[in-house]
Structure 1
């Protein structure tokens, strides 16, 4: 089965191709720059993006969105991560967190849409963790955001950027073994195509 992935990010494309290969899904890049609605919910954004992409796609399409939610700040920055990093930066986020509880989470949504559906099917994931007190580690290939300098995933004592490459790869493998949106999509596709 062919699925078109509405993304301009080659790294995201390669990751989805690898993760959907066991489900006999061929993922083809649909390099669209889709305007994102200004919403705080990752599910609604991925849903809107999938609907917009379908009109420009030769087949079934997927689109995703993610956000970063800090509990003590009412969820800030939510889906506005790039804006927050461009304006106040990591240092500003850490200043806002002075004396606050450090719980936070990444949220991700992946929406699938084809011409037989009236609405996209959405798959979700939450990656809980905590904010470090200071920036730790160094940015490198594979780290998708500067938030890696301050995000400590649940079960770890290090930020993603502090982890040695082997530790980071082990954490990613553990994540992939769990129910990620891409894995949920693959299992769902396998179910609907086996009937």
Structure 2
């Protein structure tokens, strides 16, 4: 089976390929310009994007939208990560939480649509962790954004950017595999598309 992933983010593509490749599902990147609604709800954004993408691709299509939520800042920056990185950057984000709780999480939503569905299907995932005191590590292929330089997942004492490729894969296998968007999509496809 082939699934078309409407994204320009290579890190997202590699992540989904890792999850679905073991089930003989091929993920084909399909870069397409989509209009992203202004919303702090990842599912609302995924809904808009998957409907737009499917109307162009007309084959099994996925999109993923993600947000970053810092608990002590009432969820800021939410889905407005790019805006936060462009304006206050990582250091500014860390200054905002000085003396506050460092708890945070990524929230992700995968939207899937194909010719058999009347409405898209959605799959949600949360990745909890803490913010480091400063950016650590370096950008790597497996990272979706620069937030990996300051995000320490619950099961680790390193930022995602400090992890070697093997450490990252081990972390994903232990903590993410059962709840990853790709795993959820595979489980749904295996029971609903026969």
TM-score relative to the length of structure 1: 0.91
Query: Structure 1: 5+ residue runs without aligned partners?
Result: none
Separation (CA, whole Å) in 2 of partners of 1:90 and 1:48: 28
What does 1:21-60 correspond to in 2, within 5 Å?
A: 21-60=21-60
Aligned counterpart, 2:127: 127
Aligned counterpart, 2:157: 157
Q: Deviations over 1:154-187 (max 9, x none)?
A: 0222222223443223112324422211110011
In the alignment, is residue 100 of structure 1 matched against residue 100 of structure 2? yes
| CA-based RMSD | 1.7
Separation (CA, whole Å) in 1 of partners of 2:177 and 2:6: 24
Query: Structure 2: 5+ residue runs without aligned partners?
Result: none
CA distance change for structure 1 residues 135 and 129 in 2, over 3 Å: closer, same or farther? same
Separation (CA, whole Å) in 1 of partners of 2:27 and 2:65: 17
Is residue 176–residue 183 contact of structure 1 (8 Å, CA) maintained in 2?
no
What does 1:1-195 correspond to in 2, within 5 Å?
A: 1-194=1-194
Q: Secondary structure at the match of 1:23?
A: coil
Aligned residues: 194
Q: Deviations over 1:43-65 (max 9, x none)?
A: 11111111111111131211111
Separation (CA, whole Å) in 2 of partners of 1:52 and 1:181: 20
Q: Secondary structure at the match of 2:22?
A: helix
Q: Secondary structure at the match of 1:155?
A: coil
Q: Secondary structure at the match of 1:39?
A: coil
